[in-house]
Amino acid sequence: MAYATTTTTSFNVFDRVRATISNLRSAAQERTEYTRTYKELSRLTNRELADIGLRRCDIELACSGKIAR
């Protein structure tokens, strides 16, 4: 014999607005960090980038976290 349980969650409009604002803040913080890191790495010379194991073409990937450091 199978039993089914139905649960409802209270996810009203205010919760959705709060979640959206939280997501926007998080995205803005991530973008700020990406931009700051990109600028810092772009200022380095090719030699300095090589010392930390990066090439100039890897800067975008490193900033987005797609390259392990």
pLDDT one-digit tens code per residue, 3-37: 767 666 666 889 999 999 999 999 999 999 999 99
pLDDT one-digit tens code per residue, 31-49: 999 999 999 999 999 999 9
Provide the token pair at 8: 């409802």
Q: Give the start-to-end residue ranges of the domains of the chain.
A: 14-64
* Residue-by-residue DSSP string for the chain: ------------HHHHHHHHHHHHHHHHHHHHHHHHHHHHHHHS-HHHHHHTT--GGGHHHHHHT-S--
Contacts of 44 (CB under 8 A, 6+ apart): 52
